Amino acid sequence: MRLMHWMVALLAAVLVSACGGGGGSSGSDPKTPTVQTTAPATLSMPLGVVQSYSVFGGVAPYSVSSSDVRVLNASVSDQTLILNSVGQGNATVTIRDRNGGSAAVAITVGDPLTLSLSSVQTYVGDRVKVLISGGTPPYRVSTLEIALKGTIVGNELTLEMLSVGGPFDVVVLDARNQQVKMTVEKILAGSPQFNLVPASLSIPETSTESFTLQALGGVAPLTARSLRPDLLAVSVSGNIVTVQTGTQGNRCVSANTPVDIEVNDARGGYAKATITIINDPNVCGLSVSSSSVTVPVGGSVKVLLKGVSPTGTVATTSSSNTVATASYAAGFVTITGVAVGSATISVTDSGPPPQLATIAVTVVP
């Protein structure tokens, strides 16, 4: 009988061990980060967008937290992770399962640092203006100051050409040490030839004032023309070329747009300057940072609105207020999920000119 009891006890111990000790299902370990996500471990997001990823592994239900809700809001609905960038900076999102396992995503919010010119060839004594966009102000510049000098005011970089040579690198850095480079391919001697100074220039599409180019080395009389007269019109007096807004009535462009200004002299000599008009989505054309978003019932996301007219009034309407509602304030459209389903949010700007943007919304449990 004792032998029988001993064998039964041994069999029970073996069964308990095979079942993992009874403290949860096989493979679940509160100390192991078994929960996973399709989001990468490091992620860069523009400001005001909504991105969704899957969550799996571990033991549901899942929860999520953001280390800085001023930068990034995060929520989880069933197995869907919803990330909403609301401010410039860095944040870490931590996803946890019921057993305490976790996974983390390090997120940087902000537009990449870019320059309006990537390379230029110019002349000694010339000044080249380059617009800086993205990144985190304030900006600073690094150059070889024997050959050229760089100064930054606001988001405008001015390069002054000091001596012949090249190529030279110009590096612009932002407050978070993100950097972008352009190259001065060659600085040529001041002209016995016929050329325009500056040979290249960047202007924002919001600019309305006229500006001038100087023709060096040409034989009067000079004639000038713009290859995009709808954007930039030109006139010439002596050796001064004046550039004004073209027949379109504004300088709005859908992308950074180079416009060549050509000048001919009495001998048939030819000179050219390239004016790059820099697109600013905050001014010309109403647009949203995310055209489709996912939001949980009872949750909300923020979408950045760009291109609002200076004197217009912004209003929002929903195709189904029983599914999702929306409001606008301080540059963001806030969308709140009411019930599971789909809706379209229409954002209007009274102008002038009147403008419309739409956002497709999916509300999940």
What's the angle, vertex CA 262, arms to CA 257 and CA 266, rounded to 5?
175
What does the domain layout of the chain look like in residue ranges?
Answer: 30-109, 114-278, 287-364
Q: Which architecture characterizes domain 114-278 according to CATH?
A: Sandwich (2.60)
Residue 295 has a pLDDT of 93
- pLDDT tens-place values along the chain, 365 residues long: 444 444 444 444 443 333 433 333 333 444 445 899 999 999 989 888 999 999 999 999 999 999 999 899 999 998 999 999 998 888 999 999 998 899 999 998 988 888 888 888 877 877 777 888 888 889 999 998 788 999 999 888 888 888 899 899 999 999 878 889 999 988 887 654 678 888 888 998 878 788 999 888 777 899 999 999 988 999 999 889 999 988 877 787 878 899 999 998 876 677 889 999 988 766 677 889 899 999 999 999 999 998 787 677 999 999 999 999 999 998 899 999 999 999 999 999 887 667 889 999 999 99
The reported pLDDT for the residue numbered 85 is 93
Residues in contact with 21: Cβ distance below 8 Å, sequence separation at least 6, in sequence order:
none
SS3 state of residue 6? helix
CA distance 36 to 241: 62
Q: Determine the number of helices (DSSP H) and then strands (DSSP E) in the chain.
A: 1, 32
Query: Which pLDDT score is estimated for 224?
Result: 94
Q: What is the pLDDT of residue 294?
A: 93
Single-letter amino acid, residue 357: A
For the four alpha carbons of 20, 21, 23 and 29, in that order, the dihedral sign comes to: negative
Token pair of 179 as six digits: 């950097």
**pLDDT at site 190:** 62
Helix residue ranges per DSSP H, 273-353: none
Residue 74 CA, distance from chain mean position = 20
Domain 287-364: CATH class, spelled out: mainly beta
Q: Which CATH architecture has domain 30-109?
A: Sandwich (2.60)
User: ∠ CA 92-95-96 to the nearest 5 degrees?
Assistant: 135
DSSP, collapsed to helix, strand or coil, labels residue 262 as strand
Fold agreement (30-109, 114-278): yes
345 and 358 Cβ atoms separated by less than 8 Å: yes
Q: Please give the radius of gyration of the chain, using alpha carbons only, rounded to the nearest integer.
A: 30
Q: What is the pLDDT of residue 283?
A: 65
Contact of 364 with 298, CB cutoff 8 Å: no
